[in-house]
Amino acid sequence: MAQTEYKLYPYRWVVLAVFMFINITIQTLWIGYAPITGLAAKFYGVSDLQIGMLSMSFMIAFIPLSLPVSWMIDTYGFRPAVSLGAILMGFFGILRGLAGANYLLVLWSTFGLAAAQPFLLNAWTKVPANWFALEERATAVGVVTLGSLVGTALGMVCTPMLIESMSIPAIQLLYGGFAALSALLFLVLARENPPTPPCPPGQEVRALMLDGLKQALTIRAFWFDLAISFVGLGIFNGLTTWVETIIRPRGFSPNDAGTVGALMILGGVFGAILLPALSDKQRKRQRYLYVAFLGAIPGLAGLTFATSAGLLFASAFVLGFFLVSAMPIGMQYAAEVTYPTPEGTSNGLMQLFGQASVVFVYIMEALMTANGSFTPALLLAIGLLVISALLITQMKDPHYNQPA
Q: What is the pLDDT of residues 171-218, one digit of tens each?
A: 999 999 999 999 999 999 999 888 776 666 554 544 444 555 666 677
More confident position, 250 or 208: 250
Q: How confident is the model at residue 401 (pLDDT cuts 50, 70, 90)?
A: very low
340 preceded by a cis bond (ω within 30 of 0): yes
Higher pLDDT, 113 or 148: 113
Whether 109 is in a domain gets the answer: yes
- Average pLDDT (75-85) is 91
DSSP string, 347-400: HHHHHHHHHTTHHHHHHHHHT--TTS--HHHHHHHHHHHHHHHHHHTT----GG
Percent of the chain with pLDDT over 90: 25
Count of domains observed in the chain: 1
For residue 76, being part of any structural domain is answered with: yes
Is the pLDDT confidence value at 1 over 70?
no
Average pLDDT over residues 342-352: 67
Residue 30 lies in a domain: yes
Q: Find the domain containing 266 and state its range.
A: 12-193+205-398
Q: Give domain status of residue 64, yes or no.
A: yes
The C-alpha atoms of residue 1 and residue 403 are separated, in whole angstroms, by 29
What is the domain-level CATH number for residue 337? 1.20.1250.20
Q: What is the pLDDT of residue 149?
A: 75
For residue 5, being part of any structural domain is answered with no
**Helix, strand or coil, per DSSP, at residue 248:** helix
Q: Is residue 325 part of a domain?
A: yes
Mean pLDDT, residues 135-141 taken together: 72
Under DSSP, is residue 339 helix (H, G, I), strand (E, B) or coil?
Answer: coil
The whole-number pLDDT of residue 132 equals 81
pTM recorded for the entire structure: 0.68
pLDDT reported for residue 198: 66
pLDDT greater than 70 at residue 76: yes
